Amino acid sequence: MSQHSGSEAAATEERSGPKTERGRRTLRRLLDAAGEEFGTRGYHETAISNITQSAGVGLGTFYVYFKSKEEVFKALVADMGARTRHALSESVKDAPNRLEAERLGIQAYVEFVRSHKALYRIVMEAQFVAPEAYRAYYRTFSEAYRQQLAQASKRGEISDGNDDVRVWALMGASTFLGLKFGIWDDAADIGAVSEAAADLMINGLAPRAKKGDAS
C-alpha cells in the first residue's frame, strides 16, 4: 500500500516522507493497519490505539506520521482511487471495442470490490468522513470515463447521448452491483452478474427487435 505514487505519500507527511528505511517501514505498517481497521470497524468505531496496536507500534508514533485521524483516512481514500483506476484500466486495456470494454469493466470492478472489501468500505464511508475526498474520487473517475465514451461515440461504437448523465448512471450501476454482489452476496457468480449487467447497459430494457421487424 501507498507505494504507487510518491506524490501521494508526500501529501501524507508534513514535509516530504520518512527519511530512513525504518521510517518507511513504519509508515507502511501504519497505513496497512489503518486500512484494515477502518475497513472492518468503520471510521468512528476505530480508535487510533486500535491502529497502532495492530501495527505493532506505540500510540505516539501515529502522530509522527499523521497530523490527525482524518488525514490517514484521506490518504487511504486516495490510495484506493489510484488502485481501482489501475485495476480497471488493466482489465479493459485490450478490449476490442467499447461495448466489450463495458463488459470487462463491470466484471473487473465487482471482482476488485470483492477482493478489497475493507478498502472499498473506506471509499463509501468517505462520503461522510471526508466528503471532498469522496467527490474527488468520483470526479477523477467520471472524467476518464466520459472521455472514453466520447471517443467511442465518435468512432460509432456506441450511440450518441448525454455522456455526463450516462457516466454517472453507469458508475452508479457498477457501484451498486459491487455492493450487492461483491460485498453482500459474495457467493454470487460474478460472470453471470457482469454478463447480465453488461447486457442491460449495452442493450437496455427495450424488447429486442425481431428479425424483419421494420414497423
Partner DNA sequence: TCGGAACCTGAATGTTGACTCATGTTTCAA
Partner DNA sequence: TTGAAACATGAGTCAACATTCAGGTTCCGA
Chain positions contacting a second copy, by CB under 8 A? 42-44, 98-99, 102, 124-125, 127-128, 135, 149, 156-159, 161-162, 165-166, 168-177, 179-181, 184, 192-193, 195-197, 199-209, 211-212, 214
Phi, psi of 212 (to 5 degrees): 70, 35
What is the distance between the alpha carbons of residues 139 and 47, in angstroms, rounded to a whole number? 30
Considering beta carbons, is residue 57 or 124 the nearer one to DNA? 57
User: Any contact of residue 54 with DNA (CB under 7 A)?
Assistant: no
Helix H or strand E encompassing 141:
helix 131-154
User: Any contact of residue 21 with DNA (CB under 7 A)?
Assistant: yes
**What one-letter code names the amino acid at 9?**
A
Per-residue x/- mask for DNA, residues 64 to 93, rule CB under 7 A?
A: xx--xxx-----------------------
Instruction: Supply the minimum distance, in Å, between the C-beta of residue 168 and DNA.
Output: 33
What is the distance between the alpha carbons of residues 54 and 184, in angstroms, rounded to a whole number? 26
18, 92, 118, 141: which one binds DNA (CB under 7 A): 18
Considering beta carbons, is residue 8 or 186 the nearer one to DNA? 8
Residue 41 in grid coordinates: 470497524
Contact 166, 158 (CB under 8 A): no
- Contact positions vs DNA (CB under 7 A): 18-23, 26, 45-49, 57-65, 68-70
